[in-house]
């Protein structure tokens, strides 16, 4: 599935067809009761329908034919209102199902070569594979299920899952051993241990999530539903009380008018769109190539206060490249360059390759046959250095300054006076210093530079405007960490950070009542990912990391946490904005219906008819029609979300009150008046009047 395919139209012909059918199916009261606000509207429809057949059943008086016609019109409008609400939810679900169908096309029943304990091979269907099975996959074959590479190295095409056409390297050990079922090996071979049982693979979970099968209401959604139910009960009590008071005042109010008043005053707009907003939030995250394990995870993104970020791969590119050779003592730059290149010829790391490349640019003489055939000493965590041993007994080493200093001292060498200053200067520039020595003599420092990704300063500034603090974690020394932190624009940093330090930092922020987000891809990140309120694991990372996190990035881009937080913010803002708009709507409906109910018996109520609506019947029907029509008009906004701009909570609240609060009052006044102008002649033409 390509990125372009993910950018689907708002609604296609198939989605529209399914949504229309779904709107009718959802009329089942057993389903509707899950949405209490719209369930009240459906009950109002049934009562109005009964009154259409038996106009005087509840004691309404007046012309029976007029009552029957009026009740029938109210019933039809209420039915349309419920259908529009169901349509909004069905459209959201349809978009998810459409995406799920495209994912299902990538899930194929393939044949897998299973390697048994005795070394024999057995061919099984991918649907028969069990957790723990060992499979062999070679170039051109599809990986049958999720797993971890235990042997081999190969390029894997993950475009079926991520949409990215460029293959990625997967190899045994480290943080890039995880593979996903449905991807294809394009070169070499892999031996994979299966980590998921049939039906529980990452792709299976992804399909269930995007088609809505696993969606549950989030805590905020439940809280808002409870509020809406409370408001509905309050308005119903008011209306029930209003009926006998009207009778006492000598005002005869048809039951259908009371139902219309109830429907217009309870928060039907947000009640109709609430579920669609939640589904659409999950949909937006998924289309962004991030899989949220629950709606709660997406919602939590919107409440994040602190973001813990790894330096390498997130803030910087992670490939430390040679930028300069700095001699110390009496040594020359040419000699330092030659020796640095000599001990890097057989070094396949980015640091080694970039050292040789920089040396070539400086016309080094260090690329000799003697150096190429020398014994290469690989870097190890114990020695913290690498290098070569020449046949004549000369040893050349490059490595961490303290490791090289210890080596030189043991060999009886002298440490140049300006070495410490040179090392500190490189660290202060945000670089990594590698000291080069030949036998017991130090020649200088290789300046390795880790480049900060472009645009991060602006992005971190946007987070700051949202009130989110950014904390960089790095294993670098404090000087290097401080320089990178300043260049990137993060708020604070933790230098020489170990996995347990990340957990400690998260717990400290949480103890202050803050919600914390972080990214990670390694097994050592799993505890911190589990501790964080929002843990975003990389799809390229280990199984342990993906299981600990509550979100997985298919593109394995650590900086995507920034966009995910914005999507979470947008979800909360959309819900809040439409709730504000819905409740504000009721003010205009109040001024439309209340005067229409009482004007004939109490002429003084005419002063409240500030919209100058034509007749009581046209006023009530206009408010009811507006109440129904506004739902489909707001569906695109609910699906796409309110446009989000980074700003403080106070500014955001004021902006939403002005736009959706004030707009929620003004729009119904205009809408109801326009509808009244259209239907008033029709109402009079059919003889419906008071």
Give me 594's structure tokens: 């209340």
Q: Higher confidence at residue 519 or residue 49?
A: 49
Residue 409 has pLDDT above 60, yes or no: yes
Which residues participate in the annotated binding site for Mg(2+)? 521, 525
Whole-number pLDDT of residue 105: 60
DSSP string, 569-582: HHHHHHHHHHHHHH
User: Phi and psi dihedrals of 665, rounded to 5?
Assistant: -85, -45
Residue-wise pLDDT tens digits, 138-173: 888 888 888 888 888 888 887 766 655 567 788 887
**Known catalytic residue: 109?**
no
Which residues participate in the annotated binding site? 347, 351, 379-386, 398, 521, 525
Residue 511 has pLDDT above 60, yes or no: yes
The active-site residue out of 204, 283, 310, 533 is: 310
Which residues participate in the annotated binding site for ATP? 347, 351, 379-386, 398
Do residues 71 and 218 both lie within one domain? yes
Residue-wise pLDDT tens digits, 49-92: 998 988 777 666 667 777 888 889 999 999 999 999 999 888 87
- Going by pLDDT thresholds of 50, 70 and 90, the confidence category of residue 213 is very low
Do residues 342 and 308 both lie within one domain? no
Do residues 620 and 580 both lie within one domain? yes
Instruction: Judge whether 372 lies within some domain.
Output: yes
Residue 644 has pLDDT above 80, yes or no: no
- The domain total for the chain is 4
Whole-number pLDDT of residue 66: 79
Mean pLDDT of all residues in 31-47: 91
Which CATH number goes with the domain that contains 382? 3.40.1110.10
Do residues 82 and 224 both lie within one domain? yes
Mean pLDDT of all residues in 426-455: 87
Going from the C-alpha of 276 to that of each of 212, 462, 580, the distances in angstroms are: 11, 28, 17
Whole-number pLDDT of residue 214: 46
Instruction: Judge whether 120 lies within some domain.
Output: no
User: Phi and psi dihedrals of 478, rounded to 5?
Assistant: -55, -35
- Going by pLDDT thresholds of 50, 70 and 90, the confidence category of residue 225 is confident
Instruction: Give the end of a domain, one of 498, 522, 553.
Output: 553
DSSP string, 130-180: -TT-EEEEETTPBP-S-EEEEE-EEEEE-HHHH---S-EEEESSTT--EE-
Residue 406 has pLDDT above 90, yes or no: yes
Do residues 340 and 414 both lie within one domain? yes
Mean pLDDT of all residues in 395-406: 94
Instruction: Judge whether 638 lies within some domain.
Output: yes
Going from the C-alpha of 345 to that of each of 306, 366, 398, 402, 609, the distances in angstroms are: 44, 9, 12, 23, 89
Q: Higher confidence at residue 313 or residue 37?
A: 37
Do residues 87 and 223 both lie within one domain? yes
% the chain with pLDDT above 70: 88
Q: Higher confidence at residue 464 or residue 416?
A: 416
Residue 285 has pLDDT above 60, yes or no: yes
- Going by pLDDT thresholds of 50, 70 and 90, the confidence category of residue 109 is low
Which domain range does residue 482 map to? 304-313+452-553
Do residues 355 and 495 both lie within one domain? no
DSSP code for 211: T
Which CATH number goes with the domain that contains 134? 2.70.150.10
Mean pLDDT rounded to a whole number for the chain: 82
| Region of residue 10 (phi > 0: left; psi between -120 and 50: alpha; otherwise: beta) | alpha
Instruction: Identify the weakest region by mean pLDDT among 30-44, 355-369, 514-528.
Output: 514-528
Do residues 154 and 227 both lie within one domain? no
Do residues 214 and 163 both lie within one domain? no
Going from the C-alpha of 170 to that of each of 106, 153, 352, 644, 650, the distances in angstroms are: 20, 6, 22, 37, 47
Do residues 496 and 575 both lie within one domain? no
Residue-wise pLDDT tens digits, 556-607: 777 788 788 888 888 888 888 888 898 888 877 877 777 777 776 677 777 7
Mean pLDDT of all residues in 502-513: 89
């Amino acid at each position: 599935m390509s990125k372009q395919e993910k950018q689907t139209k708002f609604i296609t012909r198939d989605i529209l067809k399914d949504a229309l059918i779904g709107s009718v199916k959802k009329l089942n009261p057993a389903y509707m009761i899950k949405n209490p606000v719209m369930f009240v509207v459906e009950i109002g429809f049934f009562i109005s329908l009964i009154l259409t057949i038996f106009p005087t059943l509840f004691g309404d008086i007046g012309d029976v034919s007029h009552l029957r016609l009026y009740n029938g019109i109210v019933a039809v409008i209420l039915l349309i209102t419920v259908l529009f609400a169901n349509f909004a939810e069905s459209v959201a679900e349809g978009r998810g199902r459409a995406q799920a169908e495209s994912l299902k096309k990538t899930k194929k029943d393939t044949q897998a070569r299973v390697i048994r304990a005795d070394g024999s091979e057995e061919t099984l269907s991918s649907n028969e594979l069990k957790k723990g099975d060992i499979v062999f996959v070679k170039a051109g074959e599809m990986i049958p299920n999720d797993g971890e590479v235990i042997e081999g190295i190969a390029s894997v095409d993950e475009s079926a899952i991520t949409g990215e056409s460029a293959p990625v390297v997967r190899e045994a050990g480290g943080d890039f051993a995880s593979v996903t079922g449905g991807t294809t090996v394009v070169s070499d071979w892999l031996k994979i241990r299966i980590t998921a049982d049939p039906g529980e693979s990452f792709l299976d979970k992804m399909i269930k999530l995007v088609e809505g099968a696993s969606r549950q209401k989030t805590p905020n959604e439940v809280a808002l539903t409870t509020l809406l139910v409370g408001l509905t009960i309050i308005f119903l009590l008011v209306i029930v009380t209003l009926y006998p008071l009207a009778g006492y005042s000598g005002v005869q109010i048809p039951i259908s008018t009371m139902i219309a008043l109830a429907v217009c005053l309870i928060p039907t707009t947000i009640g109709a769109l609430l579920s669609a907003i939640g589904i659409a939030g999950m949909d937006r995250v998924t289309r962004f190539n991030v899989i949220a394990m629950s709606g709660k995870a997406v919602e939590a993104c919107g409440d994040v206060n602190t973001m813990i970020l790894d330096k390498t791969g997130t803030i910087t590119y992670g490939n430390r490249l040679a930028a300069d050779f700095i001699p110390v003592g009496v040594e020359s730059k040419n000699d330092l360059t030659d020796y640095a290149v000599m001990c890097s010829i057989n070094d396949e790391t980015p640091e080694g390759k970039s050292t040789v490349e920089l040396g070539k640019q400086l016309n080094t003489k260090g690329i000799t046959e003697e150096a190429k055939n020398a014994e290469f000493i690989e870097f190890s965590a114990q020695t913290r250095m690498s290098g070569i041993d020449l046949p004549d007994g000369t040893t050349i080493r490059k490595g961490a300054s303290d490791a090289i200093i210890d080596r030189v001292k043991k060999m009886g060498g002298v440490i140049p006076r300006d070495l410490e200053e040179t090392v500190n200067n490189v660290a202060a520039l945000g670089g990594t210093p590698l000291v080069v020595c030949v036998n017991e003599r130090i020649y200088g420092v290789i300046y390795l530079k880790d480049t900060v990704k472009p645009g991060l300063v602006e992005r971190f500034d946007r987070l700051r405007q949202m009130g989110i603090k950014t904390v960089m974690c790095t294993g670098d020394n404090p000087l290097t960490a401080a320089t990178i932190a300043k260049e990137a624009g993060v708020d604070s940093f933790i230098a020489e950070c170990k996995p347990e330090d990340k957990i400690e930092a998260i717990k400290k922020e949480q103890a202050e009542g803050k919600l914390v987000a972080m990214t990670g891809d390694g097994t050592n990140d799993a505890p911190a990912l589990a501790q964080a309120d929002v843990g975003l694991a990389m799809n390229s990372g280990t199984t342990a990391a993906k299981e600990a996190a509550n979100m997985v990035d298919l593109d394995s881009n650590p900086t995507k946490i920034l966009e995910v937080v914005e999507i979470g913010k947008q979800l909360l803002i959309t819900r809040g904005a439409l709730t504000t708009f819905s409740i504000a709507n009721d003010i205009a409906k109040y001024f439309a219906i209340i005067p229409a109910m009482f004007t004939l018996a109490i002429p003084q109520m005419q002063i409240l008819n500030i919209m100058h609506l034509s007749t009581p019947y046209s006023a009530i029907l206009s408010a009811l029609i507006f109440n129904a029509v506004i739902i489909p008009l707001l569906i695109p906004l609910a699906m796409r979300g309110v446009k989000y701009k980074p700003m403080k909570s106070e500014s955001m609240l004021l902006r939403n009150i002005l736009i959706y609060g004030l707009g929620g009052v003004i729009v119904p006044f205009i809408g109801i008046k326009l509808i009244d102008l259209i239907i008033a002649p029709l109402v009079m033409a059919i003889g419906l009047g008071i």
